[in-house]
Structure 1
Amino acid sequence: MVNVRIDDIPLNWLEEILNLSAERIVVTDRDGIIIYINEAYCEFLGTTVDKAMKRPVQEVIENTRMHIVSRTGQAEIAAVHHINGSEMIANRFPLIVSGELVGAVGTVMFKNPEELQLYKSKIQNLVEELKYYKTREESEFTSKYSFSDLIGTSRPFMEAKALAERISVSQSAVLLLGESGTGKELFAHSIHANSLRSAYPFVPINCASIPEHLLESELFGYEDGAFTGAKKGGKKGHFQLANRGTIFLDEIGDMPLAMQSKLLRVLQDKEIQAVGGQKSVPVDVRIITATNRDLEKMVDEGKFRQDLYYRLNVIKIEIPPLRKRKEDIEQIALKLVEKLEKRFHRKSVRLSQEVIRLLQQHSWPGNIRELENVLERCINVLDGNVVMPNHLPLYLRDQETALFDTVPQHANPAGTKIKPLKETIAEAEKQAILAALAAADGNRQEAAKLLDIGKTSLYEKCRIYSIK
């Protein structure tokens, strides 16, 4: 490394550097005589360097205090200086060489208040922009729910919730199992919020929603120029963003086998290597995973790594589906209505007893997500404050009729109406498809997942049953 001294820079270079400086500069000796002034300052004063040099500073600069500072040695920082009919902002520094006061250096930072205001405005914009992105990142990577948001008093749900609370202070990996829409992500948020890592980031990522070729760079980041289209300067991955906090990998069962191997290595070595990078970066994260798939079956079929499964399955929590906790439906529905009231600016919305009964009667293949979608639909079509059966989707209103038509009436065997088995099965299938579509917000691919059938099969059945 070559050390460049000021003596090595030619004098005419130094003069040009000072002339190019954004600030206006003047230097006086101990007696207040100008021994240097740059062209920018002279232009501001309406004079030239030749006319200003070797003259007392108070003859050249109106209302100056440079001659005072050169005698007292007392600096004057960001002083308001009235000159040329305006107030400029000036700095005056004593010039001390080898411990001796030899003069003073003056600079003009802003030649008028407007220039200062423009500078402040630019700085303020940068500060506000930085604050915006910082706030957005903090809100994006913080847990949004706590255990108080997990509603229900049924035994299977309370057991799952109690286990989650008990292990939240642990550092071990957690595997959340449950059908789609049961609230696995709420459990993950709550575990983090109650953990020793709650002050640090909570970073959720849905493994099923990211294309396979992008998943590695999303999880582990990438270096500058790692691939075509890579962001200049590279990008941090979710594991780095979650450092010292918690990373939540939802739909872990959809992670490709190749990525499973890389994830296993990260969990074993506690370090990541960015795409295109040459060095490993240590990370300290707690991992929570979730899936609605049967991982044990996938391990047997060779679709999920056994060693990774055991790494993730340290603490397993099974979240019951809504059909197994029907006594919680009313309480959950009322809580969801409160939430929806705020979103749609409604007040005092109530559920009629008939609606509650119909909600409790349904099997809810889409679980809480489906229930929320149903209630949102009700509030959108509501013409008063009370949700009635006519506000419910048709498949919920028709379920009672379907049950009446298919169940024998023991009180009047002779008059019992029994449909052919083929029709009964077709009706049940149609209702299940309608419920799944409602739970998936009309997304047929997601509905097919809920029903555990292929997307092509679902499209064919929708055509048969005239489901739009």
Structure 2
Amino acid sequence: MREILSRASLIRYAEERQQRHENQLRTFINEMPDGVIYLNENNVITLINSTAKKLLDINYEQDIIGKPVSNFINNSDFIKIIRSKNQETGKEIEFFGNKILVRSTPIFFKESYIGTVVIFQKSSYISYLDHNVRRQNLKKGMLANTTFEDLRNTTVSLRMNECIDKAIQYADTESTILITGESGTGKEMFAQSIHNTSGRRNHPFVAINCAALSQNLIESELFGYEDGAFTGAKAGGKPGYFELAHNGTLFLDELGLLPLNVQVQLLRVLQERQVLRIGGIKMIPINIRVIAATNSDLLSAVESGTFRHDLYYRINVLNISIPPLRERNDDIPLLVRHYISLYNAQFNKSISSCSKDFISAFQNHNWKGNVRELMNYIMRIVILCDGNVLTAEDIVKSEIHLSCQSKKDASDINTANVPDKNRLDLVPGTLQEMEKDIIEWYMKKYDGNRAKVCNALNISRTTLWNKLKEM
């Protein structure tokens, strides 16, 4: 008798434990944000959660367990999925006015089919999650900083103002824009300004320099890749720049340098507004505005066969041609003062003005590198300046050789006594590169005496120490 009671107690305990586990599982499934239905081998409903009932507009009080799913869902696409007994990784089906993404996984036991698990997700919820992910990318630095007001404040040129007026009109459209102009004229600044004036201003601005992309990785960078697409591919795959720019603006600089095979894919993306990742099998819809830029003659490239004619006409819907700086001579004083103010704050300087001979030297220069060249020169001069007023002597001190100067300026610079051993040959580049060259030059000049270097550069010992550690 004791043995019977003991066994009965164990059975009762096992049943209670199983019921407890079933209740836990049922609660877990009911709390899932996705709808879940489990169908047996005869497509009879054996489990359904509350989310599935809501998505499929089934009455919560209605008892549907043990009944064929076709009694409640008569959508032909859905019936086809469950009858196929194949895995469905995602098909959008409309149920009662709502677009639902349906996924199904058939279950087999010892090679016998025993049922199917069906997952339902509202397409709008997936879009919401996707939007949040892309908003995180926006916070990571995919921002446009320049506005049309910034451009207006540094120009009095009629041609530049005409370009700005045209760009403001373009900003209200969704059409593709082609910006042309020499290197350094400010094509990206125009693109950023257009983005910041458009309805996409609260979404990512993704800028890509096509010339800087590795030829081996250019497709994966632009279009993304799936997990295992190639040796070295990141686990889980990676979205490309087109996906990252979703709902925002994609700026393609140096477009003319894209290989022909990539041009074909770019044309398809622009036409279909869908991206296929490398190694992927599904098209990913994207909503972007494309702004392209080039410093080359794309029409000549079309004629020579290095640029596709169909892509050229697809890109060149709206166009802006930015004039070079040498044709905007009256803008130079404004640009000089703008960048002096900018670098005063950046390098803790207090330069208040510049002399007439300084401005004259800058206005007489040819500016082959346009505004970028001027910006780099001003940065170098500000870093090396010890006074509050910039003069032609500061140009000499900074070892900047300006072309087409007036005879007086040229005479002053040519007669300046600057021995070669004290000459700083600084090539315009990034801020980090120029800082490194300047510090190395001063370290050599003062034989490693850090106190003298700090005094010459007007920086603290801690700042110099940190800069040396980074080099």
Mapped to 2, the partners of 1:193 and 1:246 lie a distance apart of 10
Question: Helix, strand or coil for the counterpart of 2:401?
Answer: helix
One-letter code of the match for 2:155? G
Is residue 396 from structure 1 mapped to residue 401 from structure 2 by the alignment? yes
1:209 paired with 2:212, answer yes
Shift of 1:137: 3.9
Matches within 5 A, 1:34-49: none
Q: Secondary structure at the match of 1:244?
A: coil
Rounded Cα–Cα distance in structure 2 between residues aligned with 1:208 and 1:175:
17
**1:394: Cα distance to partner?**
3.9
> What do residues 98-139 of structure 1 show as CA deviations (whole Å, max 9, x unaligned)?
xxxxxxxxxxxxxxxxxxxxxxxxxxxxxxxxx9x9767425
Q: Unaligned regions of 5+ residues in structure 1, if any?
A: 1-6, 18-130, 407-433, 444-468
Give the percent of matched residue pairs that are identical in Structure 1 and Structure 2. 40
SS at match of 2:160: helix
1:272 aligns with 2:272: no
User: Structure 1's 337 and 10: CA in aligned 2 closer, same or farther, altered over 3 A?
Assistant: farther
Paired residue type of 2:220: S
Match of 1:29 in 2: none
Distance of aligned partners of 1:242 and 1:134 in 2 relative to their CA distance in 1, 3 Å threshold: closer
Query: Contact 2:361 / 2:406 at 8 angstroms: preserved in 1?
Result: no
Change in Cα spacing, 1:139 to 1:387, as seen in structure 2 (3 Å) is: farther
CA distance in 2, matches of 1:9, 1:266: 61
Q: CA deviation at 1:405?
A: 8.9
TM-score (normalizing by structure 2): 0.58
Q: What letter matches 1:372 in structure 2? A: M
Is 2:320 aligned against 1:314? no
Residue number in structure 2 paired with 1:146: 147
Aligned length: 298
Cα offset, 1:389, TM superposition? 1.1
**What is the identity, as a one-letter code, of the residue corresponding to 1:146?**
T
Offset at residue 397 of structure 1 (A) = 5.7
Taking a change above 3 Å as real, the CA distance of residues 404 and 354 of structure 1, as seen in their structure-2 partners, is closer
Provide Cα deviations, 1:41-79, integer angstroms capped at 9, x if missing partner: xxxxxxxxxxxxxxxxxxxxxxxxxxxxxxxxxxxxxxx
In the alignment, the residues of structure 2 paired with residue 364 and residue 12 of structure 1 have an alpha-carbon distance, to the nearest angstrom, of 85
C-alpha distance in 2, partners of 1:200/1:366? Answer: 31
Partner of 1:368: 371
Contact map agreement 1:389 1:397 (CA 8 A) in 2:
no
Deviations 1:388-408 (A, max 9, x none): 2121144536753779999xx
Tell me the SS of whatever aligns to 1:191: helix
* 1:366–1:435 contact (8 Å) kept in structure 2: no
> Structure 2 CA distance, aligned partners of 1:347 and 1:361?
26
Q: Partners of 2:202 and 2:327 in 1: how far apart?
A: 35
Task: Please give the alpha-carbon distance, in whole angstroms, between the structure 1 residues aligned to 2:402 and 2:223.
Answer: 49
Q: Which residue of 1 aligns with 2:195?
A: 192
SS at structure 2 position matched to 1:204:
strand
Change (3 A) 1:399 1:231: same
Give the Cα–Cα distance (whole angstroms) in 2 for the partners of residues 384 and 192 of structure 1. Answer: 39
Deviation at residue 147 of structure 1 after TM alignment: 0.5
- Aligned twin of 1:166: 169
Give the AA of the match of 1:153. V
Aligned residue number for residue 350 of structure 1: 353
Relative to the length of structure 1, the TM-score reads: 0.58
SS at match of 2:228: coil
> How much has 1:12 moved relative to structure 2?
10
Corresponding residue SS for 2:229: coil
Distance between the aligned counterparts of 2:430 and 2:299, measured in 1? 26
* Runs (5+) with no aligned partner, structure 2: 1-10, 22-131, 412-423, 434-471
